[in-house]
Amino acid sequence: MFIPPQPRQFYTNKIINNLTEYDNFAYSFDYITIITVITIIYSIPSLLVTLKMCQVARAFPGPKIRAHGLHPMVLRLFLLMQISNFGYFFSDFLLIRLPSTTVITGSCGKLGNLEFLMGAQFLTYYLSTFATLIFCLARFFIVFSPRNHDFWLDAVIWRGTVPAACVAAGVAAFWVTIGGEGICVQLDEPYQFGAIVINCTKVYKNNFTTIAHISVSTFAIFLIVALSTYMLLKLRGGSKLAAAHSASDRSVRRRKAEKVLTVTMVLICVPLVLSLSMRALDILRSPYYAYVMIARPLFVDTRVNLVSWFFYLTHPIFKNAAITVTSVKSTTT
């Protein structure tokens, strides 16, 4: 059934469930479909690269990883962060990107249990955010406590903070899912009529959930940026001092590994800050929010794709993945 273009008053952020004008809605191709397809295409190689890094981390023993200037726990936490980022990318695709193409508009209002998809997005979002924070925190402990960082990483980070983060993300998902109802919401211009997103009554125009979500996200992002800035300044001074006293191959590898990890942390911060700015526009009910939504995939995907590719292509451990390295005990980053 063909649905003609609708006048401006239909382009409001309204719930379309049980609205007759959306019954039997036919898919309508536009540039949003092109953007969505492109994000899928360029994310597949990034996923394969991340899986390759997982394979290297599993195959290499701890001393071999340390020989390349990388602490095994840092590599493990980095991969945990990237896997959780891919989980968030997948949930974002199901709730926002795919519905915004109008592919499922005609049947969205009839689908049941959509609140579980919203719960999955909250779960993966907080896992992604907390995993990023934990990765930065691990780097902080290594530099702050070079002699006792193994204890901090194992007892505090891996056995304490990681399980606590998983529980917190689970609580957020539980809150959204239980007692909530999945809804489909029409997007504002410049999206076309029928472009929707999947939401939940526990989230959509819910002040308590919005304030709690923004507060936790802002606090976590602030800590990530603060830790990254501290590490950038600390390692910059440390690298100059190390370069003046040592020119051994091991020192060169270590400084290069430090540089890769530091740049990685900077790359992580940029999309987080941009995403936080988008949330501010949403709270302020900015008329430009829908326009910024079109660029939103770039913010999310930068953390997934650019970070994975940069780490894989520049860190020494992946350049020498096929070379057998004898076990050595060295200072790691």
Q: Are 169 and 181 in contact (CB under 8 A)?
A: no
- Residue 285 in any domain: the answer is yes
251 and 271 Cβ atoms separated by less than 8 Å: no
Q: Where are the alpha helices (DSSP H) in 113-206?
A: 114-144, 149-151, 162-177
pLDDT in tens, 143-181: 888 788 888 899 999 999 999 999 999 999 999 888 889
**What domain count does the chain have?**
1
Has residue 296 been placed in a domain? yes
* CA neighbor of 265 nearest in space, from 226, 297, 239: 226
Average pLDDT over residues 177-193: 89
Least confident interval from 203-212, 248-257, 273-282? 248-257
Please determine, for residue 209, whether its predicted confidence score (pLDDT) is greater than 50: yes
pLDDT confidence of residue 128: 92
Is position 151 within any domain? yes
pLDDT digits (tens, 9 = 90+) for 86-129: 999 999 999 999 999 999 999 887 888 899 999 999 999 999 99
For residues 257-261, average pLDDT: 72
Q: How far apart are CA 249 and CA 258, in angstroms?
A: 14
SS3 311: helix
**Closest listed residue to residue 316, CA positions, set 237, 252, 235:** 252
Is 38 contained in some domain? yes
Helices (H), 246-288: 249-283
Q: What angle do CA 13, 18, 23 make, to 5 degrees?
A: 95
pLDDT at 4 over 60: no
Task: Determine which of 67-81, 121-135, 158-172, 252-266 has the lowest per-residue pLDDT on average.
Answer: 252-266
Give the mean pLDDT of 219-223.
88
CB atoms within 10 A of CB 158: 17
**Least confidently predicted of 8-22, 116-130, 237-251:** 237-251
What is this structure's pTM?
0.84
* Residue 109 belongs to a domain: yes
pLDDT of residue 238: 59
Would you place residue 24 in the very low, low, confident or very high pLDDT band (cuts 50, 70, 90)?
confident
Its domain, for residue 209, covers 8-316
Average pLDDT, the chain: 82
Residue 1 lies in a domain: no
Alpha-carbon span 68 to 74, nearest angstrom = 12
Alpha carbon 182 to its chain's center:
23
In this predicted structure, what is the pLDDT of residue 272?
73
Task: Name every residue whose Cβ is closer than 8 Å to that of residue 111 and which is 6 or more positions away in sequence.
Answer: 104, 182
How far apart CA 37 and CA 40 sit, in angstroms, is 5
Token readout for 299 is 């913010």
User: What average pLDDT score do residues 289-304 get?
Assistant: 79
324 inside domain: no
Picking from 16, 4, 40, 10, the residue whose alpha carbon sits closest to that of residue 111 is 16
> What average pLDDT does this structure show over 42-55?
94
Q: Is the pLDDT confidence value at 30 over 80? A: yes
Q: H or E stretch including 182?
A: strand 182-186
**Residue 206 pLDDT more than 60?**
yes
CATH number at residue 310: 1.20.1070.10
Q: What is the DSSP letter of 126?
A: H
Cβ distance 54 to 317 under 8 Å? no
Q: Is residue 31 part of a domain?
A: yes
